[in-house]
Amino acid sequence: MLLAQPGGKNTKPVQVSGGINAYAGFYTPGGISARNQSAPFGLSGSVNIILPGGISLPFSAVLGNQGSSFRQPFNQFGVSPAYKWATIHAGYRNVSFSPFTLAGHTFLGGGFELNPGMLRIGAVYGRFNKAASSTIADPEIMPTFKRTGYAFKVGYGKANNYIDLLVLRAHDDTSSISGISANPGQSVTPAENLVVGISSRLLIIKHFTVEVDAAASSYTRDMFASEVQAQGSNVLVRLFGKMITSRLSTQLTQAMQTAVGYQDKWGSVKLQYKRIDPNFQTMGSYYFQSDIQSYTAATTLNLLKGKARISGSYGIQFDNLANNKSARTGRTIGSFMVSVNPQPEFGADISLSNYGLSQKAGIRPLIDTLRIAQNNLSATVNLRYSILNNEMSHIFNVTGTHQQLSDLNQNTASNTENNNQNLNLGYFLVHNQSGFGANLMLSYTQSGLPVIDSASKGSKVKFYGPALGTNYAFLKKKLNTSANVSYLVNQQFGITGKVLTASANAGYQIGKRQSISLSFNYLSSDTGQASEKFNEFRGNLSYGITF
């Protein structure tokens, strides 16, 4: 996707940049079949053309014994030039007006957004879907009708304090495909949609904000269904009934999310509510999670003159709003975080989160052996300490994580419960004058898994080992080198395995626009089973020119 940025009197002329790279290498496996060419070689190149106004045209190509490819930007080309308070959209674009109307769906067409003073106006029109039909030769193609539509908004206010009225209207072209698929399981029917909504961000009084996004959607799943007379006092029917034909397959649904917040120097408080009806859809978005209702509260506290921060949130969510499912699923989400930075050299972060999932009977009673009742706990602690001076920088880091899934249903707990612990110790050294750097990492991970059967030798899986790296620049920083090695031991079900990886890299800047690089990589894997013991050695030499 291509973008055009605001232009002006100082618009730069056409700019061209890119590079060409030639490479050759070797690959030697041991213990396994080759997974690469034994002597890979080829050429790769890229060109980027920047036109006046900021339009970028990138091209790239690869040619070698591992394959060839060419990429160019003209499959989907679009621009959105802007000047002061006006923006024009043309070509392939994705524009968002609100979460429940036009929300990022890509279309081929045009439009504009105008914001003179306090006025907010926007409109787009184009093709939202391209017609596609399955054939006897290729029956797996999912058929789709050509879909066109438009959306517009009219509002008042600024970017952080406004209210908008929005309308989206889209429909399928019934003559664009036959509607009969070569694969009977993929037959489709033409649909149409009308969505009316509002979106607002309002600063009621100082520090006090209200956010509202709401929409009503009339969605017809089959435009060939019989017509019906729309009745009722719904605002969508009274004001916009002539814009869509009501049919037996038409469904009217609603969606809303709102939030009330207060923010000051000491912190903030925010209350949120969301409700999306079952089967709510808009043709201006690719996907919606429908049939949900949720309540959330969040707060943040700034303490010790900004050196400490405490934040937390708690929310509940449930489905089956129409009471037509066999079970009702509820979720609870809680999080808590403390961040303390008493000195620039030292800091600590602690975070906790708890996610609960449970079910209640709906139109049918729940069977205990199938009822879902789980709790997922996660806790993380991070400590960091630095020793800084003019010559050397030493940075120490410790991170520990605990995750645990608890199944509250005793009938299924033995097959689902698991836990995971992870500990990482890190040390980073930088010589400020020479640029020499080194790092050492120690990691340990332990997972407790359900016992598969009585023959399994254990339910603990462990991974641990060190990783060491270093880098240095020679010859007035024209030659940059680095080396890394890691050794990982894994133990699972009574079997011990080892993985060793090592790499070395060097790059030399020949001139202002020329460089040469050399790299070696070694992998040795031994899972503990003779059939899975192997090693690989790779090397690569490349020469590049940039312009």
Beta bridge partners of 393: 388, 430
> 3-class SS at 13?
coil
Helices (H) then strands (E): counts for the chain: 2, 28
pLDDT bucket at 6, cuts 50 / 70 / 90 = very low
Lowest pLDDT segment from 181-185, 393-397, 481-485:
181-185
**Mean of the per-residue pLDDT values of the chain:** 87
Beta bridge partners of 540: 25, 519
378 versus 369: the higher-pLDDT residue is: 378
pLDDT score of 407: 81
Answer whether residue 8 shows pLDDT above 50: no
Mean pLDDT of 331-358: 92
Contacts of 3 (CB under 8 A, 6+ apart): 54, 55, 56, 78, 79, 80
CA dihedral 480, 483, 484, 485 (to 10 degrees): 180
Mean pLDDT of 420-429: 96
Lowest pLDDT segment from 38-47, 66-75, 110-119, 414-423:
66-75
Q: What angle do CA 452, 488, 461 make, to 5 degrees?
A: 15
pLDDT score of 395: 95
Contacts of 233 (CB under 8 A, 6+ apart): none
401 versus 408: the higher-pLDDT residue is: 401
pLDDT bucket at 469, cuts 50 / 70 / 90 = very high
The span from the CA of 533 to the CA of 390, in Å, is: 48
pLDDT score of 205: 84
Residue 458: is it exposed, middle or buried by C-beta count within 10 angstroms (0-12/13-18/19+)? middle
Q: What angle do CA 483, 489, 491 make, to 5 degrees?
A: 165
User: For residue 359, how many C-alpha atoms fall within 13 Å in the half-sphere facing its CB?
Assistant: 19
Contacts of 531 (CB under 8 A, 6+ apart): none
Lowest pLDDT segment from 19-23, 143-147, 504-508:
143-147
pLDDT score of 351: 97
Answer whether residue 86 shows pLDDT above 60: yes
Alpha helix stretches (DSSP H) within 46-89 = none
The span from the CA of 58 to the CA of 17, in Å, is: 9
The span from the CA of 23 to the CA of 270, in Å, is: 56
β-bridge pairing 103-114 and 208-220: unpaired
Answer whether residue 136 shows pLDDT above 80: no
In the chain, the percentage of residues whose pLDDT exceeds 90 is 60
Lowest pLDDT segment from 65-69, 274-278, 291-295, 467-471:
65-69
The span from the CA of 53 to the CA of 351, in Å, is: 45
Answer whether residue 368 shows pLDDT above 70: no
Q: Report the amino acid identity of residue 416.
A: T
Answer whether residue 538 shows pLDDT above 50: yes
**Residue range 189-214, pLDDT digits in tens:** 899 999 999 999 999 888 899 999 99
Lowest pLDDT segment from 63-67, 109-113, 162-166, 522-526:
63-67
Task: Return the structure tokens found at 487.
Answer: 């050794």
Nearest alpha carbon to residue 173 among 219, 129, 110: 129
pLDDT score of 56: 76
pLDDT score of 138: 65
Lowest pLDDT segment from 87-96, 406-415, 474-483:
406-415
pLDDT score of 186: 64
The span from the CA of 92 to the CA of 99, in Å, is: 20
Task: Return the structure tokens found at 52.
Answer: 């006046």
In the chain, the percentage of residues whose pLDDT exceeds 70 is 89
Mean pLDDT of 66-81: 79
pLDDT score of 375: 85
**Residue range 210-252, pLDDT digits in tens:** 999 999 999 999 999 998 876 655 566 666 667 788 889 999 9
The span from the CA of 172 to the CA of 181, in Å, is: 16
User: For the whole model, what pTM was predicted?
Assistant: 0.79
